[in-house]
Amino acid sequence: MHIAVISDIHSNLDALSAVFEEIERRAINQVYCLGDVVGYGADPGPCVDLVRRQCRLTVLGNHDEAVVNGRGAGYLPKSGRAAAKHNHSLLAPDQLDWLARLPLTASNDHGTFVHATPQDPAAWHRIGAFSTTQAQFEHFSTDVCFIGHTHVPGLVSDRIGVLTVRKGHRYLVNVGSVGQPRDGDPRACFCVFEVEACASEIVRVPYDVERAAQKIRRAGLPAVLSDRLAVGN
C-alpha cells in the first residue's frame, strides 16, 4: 500500500494540480497534507477546496494560521505578511473556518503528521542542530514522522549512518514543498511512502511555473514571490 504526503502548497494551484495528477497516475488513494495550504501564492480558495476534497487528513501550518487570524504573521517576511492579507481577503467564511479547525498534529498506523516539529508543533521551529533533531524522536511513537515547513526534502534517522528508510529504524521525513521548493529545483515536490515495505520516495513533478508566477504578479503581490518560483529558492 502506498500513501502520498504533501506539504507547503502556498496557494500554488498549478503546482498542486500537477501533483494530484501524478498521484492519480500512480493510483494512490490516500493523501495526507502537512499544512501551509495557503500563503505566498495567488490561488488560496481553489487550493483549499482541492485539499479538502482530495486529502484524507490535513494538519495546520503557520501560514494557514497567519491567513486565518493573523497569528504569527509578525514572524513572516514582509512578502509573507502581504500575501497573508491578500489570501485572507479571497477566502470564503467556510474556507477560513476549515483552516481554523485543522489540528496541529495527527497520527495513525502509517505515521505521525505535523507541519514543523513534533516536539513543539505550535512554535513552528525549524530543525537544525543534531541535538535538536534527535530530541524530536522522543515526541512521536510511530516509526515515521512526516514534516514539512523548510521546503527542503530529506530524512533523518534515529541512528547515525542510516540514510534510507527501511524497517527496524525510526525516521523524520521532510516531504519538501509542492508550491514553493527551496532546494534549487523548481519542480513541485511530494513524498510517496510504501507502508508495508517502509520505503519512501521523493517525487518531483514539473508544472507551468511561469503561469503560477504571472498570477502572483497580476495579484499585485511582492515580486520576490513570483521570481523565486523559477529558481526553486
Give the DSSP H/E element, type plus range, for residue 157.
Answer: strand 154-157
User: Is 74's pLDDT higher than 80?
Assistant: yes
- Longest Cα–Cα distance of the chain, Å, equals 50
Which residue, among 71, 121, 119, has the nearest Cα to 99 in the 3D structure? 71
Tens-digit pLDDT profile for residues 102-154: 999 999 999 999 999 999 999 999 987 677 888 999 999 999 999 999 999 99
What is the average pLDDT value for the chain, to the nearest integer?
95
Q: What angle do CA 124, 130, 134 make, to 5 degrees?
A: 75
Percent of the chain beyond pLDDT 70?
98
Phi, psi (degrees; rounded to nearest 5) at 155: -145, 155
Q: How many angstroms separate the CA atoms of 137 and 142, rounded?
A: 9
What is the rounded distance in angstroms from the CA atom of residue 131 to the CA atom of residue 16?
34
Question: In the chain, what are the domains?
Answer: 2-231 (3.60.21.10)
Give Cα 227 to chain centroid, integer Å.
Answer: 20
Sorting pLDDT into bands at 50, 70 and 90, what band is 157?
Answer: confident
